[in-house]
Amino acid sequence: MALKTPEQYVDSLRQLKICAYVAGERVHSVVDHPAIAPHINTVAKTYELAHQAEHREVMTAISHLSGERVHRYTHIFQNTDDLVKKIQMLRLLGQTTGTCFQRCVGLDALNALYATSFEIDQGEGTGYHPRFCDYLLRVQREDLMLAGAMTDPKGHRAKKPSEQADPDQFVHVVERRPDGVVIRGAKLHNTGGINSHEILVLPGTGLAAGEKDYAIACAVPAGAPGVIFIFGRQSNDTRKLEGGCDIGNPRFGVVGGEAMVVFDNVFVPNEHIFMNGETQYCGGLVNYFATWHRANYGGCKGGNADVLIGATAKMTRILGTDRNAVVRDKLTEMIHMNETTYASAIGAGAMGYRLACGSYMFDPMMSNTVKQNITRNVYQISRLAHDLAGGFLATMPDQKALENPEIGAYVKKYHTANPDYDVMERIRMGRYIENMTSVTSMVESMHGAGSPQAQRIVMLGLAGIEAKIKMAEQVISGTDDVKGIALPKSN
Ligand code: SF4
Ligand code: FE
């Protein structure tokens, strides 16, 4: 069963004893809760497309461990083509669902652990990598939905993990046993965890030598005792409970259904521990994860923007503004920004490089540039969608008004624009645009895969400012004589 069907994914979630709270109340079945169901539908789509012949190349890959065809969401990148196909997969899924499909964090955490466990073994003579490969084989064989849990609450931002008044502000080991460890703490902003099979827990920051208890990387079943999910509040989330057109994206919801996940003295057996105290490898692990994850946004947000651009273009037809040259130019601007980030993500894959463990990494400068552009372009694209769709995004009456026999006809009559289109098309498109450009969506674009300044630090560090100064000195001197110039390699 290397490729689960969507039904098998949902059934397998039912078997887990996931401890989850939504709106402050314990949820007895995540599968049947209306606040979570849209996000499960989205992940189910990732399973569904893998079975379709036309998407097979993009959605699946051949495992380098077993030689079997596996879901690309469980695959270790073997070459630059795998990196490019990952971005293509994300755009396809973004186009199909119009929202976040959640499995990318687990994929990038898998790859980060594959590379880091190899490097720890090389440097320290440990045995993490074979152990991780055994785990990976099971993930591939069972086509597991993995969440990645990286972002600690962090407490006082000016203090290190070991300096916090409350040591639980960073996930850490509180007990060591012969057969495993007990961990405590929490991770925030956890995408898809509430509807995943397992969580990959990774350190979220570089650590000092005295902080060994915080250097813990492991796999934890989502239903393990002591794992508690507390679902995040989203813009307009009670609309999911109401049903009807106000939800915007009725089947797949908006963004990834994030939760905070608490690890309240969770036991982790040795076979699921892939780093335990090797503080000197934490910074590298975080960097690997971030570089693999930041390029993603050119794919997933690209696919989401395709849907948003489509909704906006349709809206201009419904309004009768579609032939206006200014309107067409604004649509072109949306397309331009979207294709720019997609091209950078594809470029990051095409220019990727091989790591010591044999897997492949995105070009770091391009990957970080993709994410930096996303923190702007998604806002700009959304601004133009608001501009072209009009003020009714913020003022239109709700589904209940439409259903009320006393006033529903007024709502429809006075929201009818071009009579060639049913008024409900306008309302539904408007609701999608409203929800897809809500605070929840936009903030995810800003902070997902790291806040903007995190990318800028990497970009400046990689840019080779000194080499650029030498280039300028050489060009301006009119000679080839400037010493110390390091021209970039041409690949
Ligand atoms: Fe994947 Fe994008 Fe969602 Fe992150 S925001 S999990 S990259 S779809
Ligand atoms: Fe994200």
Using an 8 Å Cβ cutoff, are 296 and 104 in contact? yes
Lowest mean pLDDT among 20-34, 87-101, 241-255, 303-317: 241-255
Which pLDDT value is given to residue 256?
A: 86
Using an 8 Å Cβ cutoff, are 184 and 265 in contact? yes
Note the Cα 415 to chain centre separation in Å.
Answer: 36
Counting residues of the chain whose pLDDT is more than 70, the rounded percentage is 98
**Distance from the alpha carbon of residue 447 to the mean position of ligand 1, in angstroms:** 12
- In ligand 1, the atom with minimum distance to the C-alpha of 191 is 6
CATH number given to 6-284: 2.40.110.10
**Burial (0-12, 13-18, 19+ Cβ within 10 Å), 164:** middle
Which pLDDT value is given to residue 254?
A: 84
Q: Which residues line ligand 1 (CB under 6 A)?
A: 100-102, 104-105, 191, 256, 296-297, 300, 448
At 249-289, the pLDDT tens digits run 999 988 888 999 999 999 999 999 999 999 999 999 999 99
77-100 mean pLDDT = 98
Tell me which of 1.20.140.10, 3.10.180.10, 2.40.110.10, 3.30.2310.20 is the CATH number of domain 290-466: 1.20.140.10
The angle formed by the CA atoms of residues 258, 260 and 264, to the nearest 5 degrees, is 150
Does 479 score more than 90 pLDDT? no
Angstrom distances, CA of residue 231 to CA of 19, 21, 172, 184, 195: 11, 6, 22, 19, 11
- Point out the ligand nearest to the CA of residue 87: 1
- The domain ranges of the chain are 6-284, 290-466
Q: What is the pTM of this model?
A: 0.96
Write phi, then psi, for 21 (nearest 5 degrees): -125, 135
What are 200's strand-pairing partners?
Answer: 148, 219
Secondary structure element (H or E) that encloses residue 259, with its range: strand 259-269
Compute the distance between CA of residue 116 and CA of residue 133 in angstroms, rounded to an integer.
Answer: 12
At 411-436, the pLDDT tens digits run 999 999 999 999 999 999 999 999 99
Does 47 score more than 70 pLDDT? yes
In sequence order, what are the residues at sequence separation of 6 or more whose Cβ sits closer than 8 angstroms to the Cβ of residue 320?
417, 418
**Distance from the alpha carbon of residue 108 to the mean position of ligand 2, in angstroms:** 12
Using an 8 Å Cβ cutoff, are 230 and 260 in contact? yes
Q: Give residue 133's identity as a one-letter amino acid code.
A: C
Note the Cα 28 to chain centre separation in Å.
Answer: 26
- Point out the ligand nearest to the CA of residue 102: 1
